[in-house]
Structure 1
Amino acid sequence: MIQYNWPFENLLINCSFIFLFIAMICYWIYLASFFKNIFLKFGQFSNIFANFSIFASLILRWINSGHFPLSNLYESLIFLSWGLSLIHIILENTTQNYFVGALLSPTTLFINSFALFNLPVDMQKISPLIPALQSNWLMMHVSVMLLSYATLFSGALLSISFLIVVWIETLMAPGTLKIILQNLDSSSSETGFSLSSKEKKENFFKFDYLNNLDNLSYRLIGIGFSFLTIGILSGAVWANEAWGSYWSWDPKETWALITWITFAIYLHTRLVKGWQGQKPALVASIGFLILWICYLGVNLLGKGLHSYGWFL
């Protein structure tokens, strides 16, 4: 039997959309106005309020439904937007890189608004778990997979932004950026560059900014890949309990494997080949597209063993 959501839950979700929208605008104004701190602070507070609103709505939904709120596409999108918002908060507090706010806040807003305004109303209502999902593995497997998606999305977005900045800066000052990127691609360590002190001083912003983007993307993808590996393994154990087979080449499983291989290639190029800069960023950009197919594309088709609770 379908249950209607608590009014307070709907209020919290709607508030999260408003807070995320305000955060996105503030971060964009902050960058466009050359780092005016008032907009940065307001954007940070808005993102924190949005994260709290989403988290509280998930807790209320859990209490109201009696099961962990990850049983359909709507709930997974809300959880994913919470994960991205949380990563945004952690990154800003640990790296002091405020560009991530301008990058992640619109992504979080897009996912949140897609869940609120594009999914059928019936999917947004609470419904009982089908037998296949009545397992303790629901919390373990699905939450870890969504955390891996959130982390990999963040890392891949930073790689894409790295390529965009490289493209823009190359058009503006090709000679300067060429020196920086040659060092980024050829250095065997993350900070081993051969620019002279004068060149470093003149190009400090470009040099430091690109290097930080590259390294931060690498770290996020490394964490996300670990989550993805754990999620796939836990899913295989759950599949064996539910369907009697660890692997069935279900579309969702197949694309999860393709995603895993893509990001494994990225990490191989970084750890074994010593690549940095544009080449691994291109691999991560491809992984970004594959990740969307794995998460959303396969689900929208509504085919396979993982199709419960999705579009048909």
Structure 2
Amino acid sequence: MDLVTLQNTLDNGAFAILFLAMLVYWGGMAFPKIPYLQAIGTTSMAIANLAIAALLGARWLEAGYFPLSNLYESLFFLTWGITAIHFIAEQRTGSRLVGIFTAPLAMGITAFAALSLPPEMRESAPLVPALKSNWLMMHVSVMMLSYATLMVGSLLAIAFLLVTRGKNIQLQGSSLGNGGYRLKTPTPPDSTPSNSPLSSVNASSTTATAVLTPPQTTPTLSPQRLTVAETLDNISYRIIGLGFPLLTIGIIAGAVWANEAWGSYWSWDPKETWALITWLVFAAYLHARITRGWQGRKPAILAATGFVVVWICYLGVNLLGKGLHSYGWFF
């Protein structure tokens, strides 16, 4: 079997495995009492990750350069990053919630790359002169890993918003989310002394408190949904906290490469501008979580905005076909 045939087999196989993983995770959500479903889902995601790694390795051997020069290659590298982050998050938390949302994302990206792109866009081609640099591996790989990480974290924030929709819930307390949560319904202001422990929450406490409006004003979350919301909020924060340093390193590496290739660290190219916007959005999210102690819906809305911004930075800018980063993608 030649390398091209192997790549075609691996990309279709990765799609099939990720589709199976999605069904398994969704089945586990619908039928939580069925044993081994989470183990099957985790195994499927791990196999898909290895299949994509083998695909990228075969591509590297065939083309002779690190496979990140066109849309097909970057989409599979992005999917590899998503499955890797999924595996790390799931192992750290032991929760199947991660796979319920990451498996469809990974499967959708793989389907687009393997089934929707025309054949000529899936073929490897010689690098343009600007990409013949060791910085291709350093800058682009770190940026793609940051996109994958931030997408997963933002997607879980969107899931948090869906779980808590229509509910006036605000999680307050430790941004690390490493303490226990307890449900609390505040008493009316006229019956609670101003110096009562119920009137304030210590932002440095390891115990977070879910504050809900009185039942007669807004329906409250059930204990089960509250637990799901707390888990999503915690995992989302931790993953975004991992992706932000990667994005920072990727932008700095890109600036150094730009100075080497074009004689300027920053040219306000559309890709550079949107990378900066992405950085600012997630910097605002982390500032709100760490400095101001925000948790719950407010920072989740910021993260959900970041999900859209990442996609604009990754693909939307390239649709314009303008700027120094337009080669090797759509035009």
Deviation of the 1:194 alpha carbon:
5.2
Q: Which residue number corresponds to residue 232 of structure 2?
A: 213
User: Is the contact between residue 222 and residue 267 of structure 1 (CA under 8 Å) also seen in structure 2?
Assistant: yes
Quick one: structure 1 residues 209 and 187, their matched pair in 2 at CA, closer, same or farther if it must change by over 3 Å? farther
Aligned mates of 2:226, 2:251 — CA distance in 1? 37
SS at match of 2:164: helix
Q: Which residue number corresponds to residue 41 of structure 2?
A: 43
Segments ≥4 residues shifted beyond 6 Å: 168-171
Sequence identity (%): 54
TM-score computed with the length of structure 2 as normaliser: 0.84
User: Is the contact between residue 89 and residue 235 of structure 2 (CA under 8 Å) also seen in structure 1?
Assistant: no
SS at match of 1:309: coil
Deviation of the 1:189 alpha carbon:
4.1
Summarize the alignment of residues 76-225 of structure 1 with structure 2, pairs less than 5 Å apart: 76-167=74-165, 179=185, 188-189=203-204, 191-193=206-208, 205-225=224-244
Quick one: structure 1 residues 190 and 263, their matched pair in 2 at CA, closer, same or farther if it must change by over 3 Å? farther
Aligned mates of 1:100, 1:270 — CA distance in 2? 21
Q: Which residue number corresponds to residue 271 of structure 2?
A: 252
- Whose helix proportion is higher, 1 or 2? 1
User: Is the contact between residue 251 and residue 304 of structure 1 (CA under 8 Å) also seen in structure 2?
Assistant: yes
Which one-letter code corresponds to 1:158 in the other structure? L
Aligned mates of 1:256, 1:186 — CA distance in 2? 36
Kindly indicate whether residue 306 of structure 2 is the aligned counterpart of residue 287 of structure 1. Answer: yes
Which one-letter code corresponds to 1:192 in the other structure? T
Listed as ranges, the gaps of 5+ residues in structure 1 are 196-201
SS at match of 1:34: coil
Q: Which residue number corresponds to residue 71 of structure 2?
A: 73
Aligned mates of 2:303, 2:97 — CA distance in 1? 19
Aligned mates of 2:37, 2:307 — CA distance in 1? 29
Aligned mates of 1:194, 1:310 — CA distance in 2? 47
Which one-letter code corresponds to 1:47 in the other structure? M
Listed as ranges, the gaps of 5+ residues in structure 2 are 170-181, 187-197, 211-220
Which one-letter code corresponds to 2:330 in the other structure? F
Aligned mates of 1:192, 1:276 — CA distance in 2? 13
User: Is the contact between residue 24 and residue 40 of structure 2 (CA under 8 Å) also seen in structure 1?
Assistant: yes
Larger Rg computed on CA atoms: 2
Deviation of the 1:230 alpha carbon:
0.3
Name which of structure 1's ranges 237-246 and 88-97 shifts more when overlaid on structure 2.
Answer: 88-97
Q: Which residue number corresponds to residue 276 of structure 1?
A: 295
Deviation of the 1:212 alpha carbon:
2.1
Deviation of the 1:236 alpha carbon:
0.2
Which one-letter code corresponds to 2:248 in the other structure? T
Q: How much is the aligned-residue C-alpha RMSD, in angstroms?
A: 2.5
Q: Which residue number corresponds to residue 193 of structure 2?
A: none
